[in-house]
Amino acid sequence: MREIPSDFGRVVVGTQAELFSEALRITLAAQAAARPGRFLWALTGGSTPAAFYKWCVESSALPPELINGTHFTVSDERHVPLSSPDSNFGNAERQLLAPLGVATDRRLPWMVAWPVAEAAEAYRKTMLILAGPGRAYDLCFLGMGDDCHTASLFPQTPLLKDDGGLLFGGQEVPGKGWRLTITPGGLRACGKIVVMALGAGKAAALHRVHRGPLDVENVPSQLLKTCAENVVWLVDEPAAAQL
Ligand code: 6PG
């Protein structure tokens, strides 16, 4: 593996297997740094986490203390039932949590059965109890879209411009429906953040984030500059081609 300097966090470049091992190593370190029995790990949506879940399950990579000592959630969610293939938590549950036998009281989905505002408020209350005031996740996994969005913070969306001091919220994203998401302030309140971006399709977006002009409203992933010391980007060689 090699590292590339960036103002937006540590960029680690390697093969998929190396990056997944590194993601697990970071996770175990984050758990060790968390309060005993209170490790809060947010997974995310997309094809990269799906490949990571498969790797975790097939290689039995997660030790029992991680499986049994973690509260699992997702950093953002679509306002759809957990049974939907579009549900980020539903997919995490089907592809990782259920195969690993994670206890149901350690699975923390967003409350998607409720209207968005109530769902966001209920989630904030749950996170306040688990994480404590002013804190979000101990570890937050993120992906990045072609438009440089991360979590459900899309270009030109309200929560990206002003999160009202809230760590979690909901918003309608034109063309993508209602979303529940960690906010910019929430990301700054995380212990550690891991952004995984694999494949040549991510090269242009990674270039815009790391080498383009600072323009958070149109390049949302650049907001991570404000907490860069806690951020690790895990990217493969095709994705790193323009860095
Ligand atoms: C969404 C997607 C999205 C996804 C990224 C990265 O909510 O629109 O879930 O946020 O996480 O586009 O996806 P890949 O892992 O497939 O690159």
Whether the pLDDT of residue 236 is over 90: the answer is: yes
Q: What is the pLDDT of residues 87-145, one digit of tens each?
A: 999 999 999 999 999 999 999 999 999 999 999 999 999 999 999 999 999 999 999 99
Is the whole model's pTM more than 0.85, yes or no? Answer: yes
pLDDT (tens digit per residue) in 190-216: 999 999 999 999 999 999 999 999 999
Mean pLDDT of 26-34: 97
Does 46 sit in the ligand 1 pocket, CB within 6 Å?
yes
CATH of the domain at 66: 3.40.50.1360
Examine the pLDDT at 82 and tell me if it is beyond 90. Answer: yes
Q: Which of 144, 146, 193, 198 to mutate to test the pocket of ligand 1 (most atoms within 8 A of CB)?
A: 144
Average pLDDT over all residues of the chain: 97
The number of domains in the chain is 1
- Nearest atom in ligand 1 to the alpha carbon of residue 50 is 15
Which pLDDT does position 155 carry in this prediction? Answer: 97
Output the residue whose Cα is nearest ligand 1's atom 12.
Answer: 145
Please give the number of the atom of ligand 1 that sits closest to the Cα of 197: 17
The verdict on the CB of residue 45 being under 6 Å from ligand 1 is yes
Confidence band of 81 (pLDDT split at 50, 70, 90): very high
Cβ of 220 closer than 6 Å to ligand 1, yes or no, is no
For residues 59-66, give the mean pLDDT. Answer: 96
Atom nearest to 88 CA in ligand 1:
9
Measured by CA distance, the residue closest to atom 13 of ligand 1 is 46
The ligand 1 atom at the shortest distance from the C-alpha of residue 47 is 16
pLDDT at 36 over 90: no
Residue with CA closest to ligand 1 atom 14: 46
pLDDT of residue 35 exceeding 90, the answer is: no
Mean pLDDT along residues 173-179: 94
Q: How far is the CA of 143 from the centre of ligand 1 (A)?
A: 6
Q: Is the dihedral of CA 73, 10, 58, 60 positive or negative?
A: negative
3-state secondary structure 136-191: CCCEEEECCCCCCCECCECCCCHHHHCCCCCCEEEEEECCCEEEEEECHHHHHCCC
The ligand 1 atom nearest the CA atom of 149: 10
Question: What is the pLDDT, as a whole number, of residue 241?
Answer: 97
Please tell me the predicted confidence (pLDDT) of residue 37.
Answer: 81
pLDDT of residue 64: 96
Please compute the mean of the pLDDT values over residues 151-168 and round it to a whole number.
96
In terms of residue numbers, what domain contains 223?
A: 2-242
Close Cβ partners of 170 (under 8 Å, ≥ 6 residues apart): 79, 116, 117, 119, 120, 178, 179, 180, 181
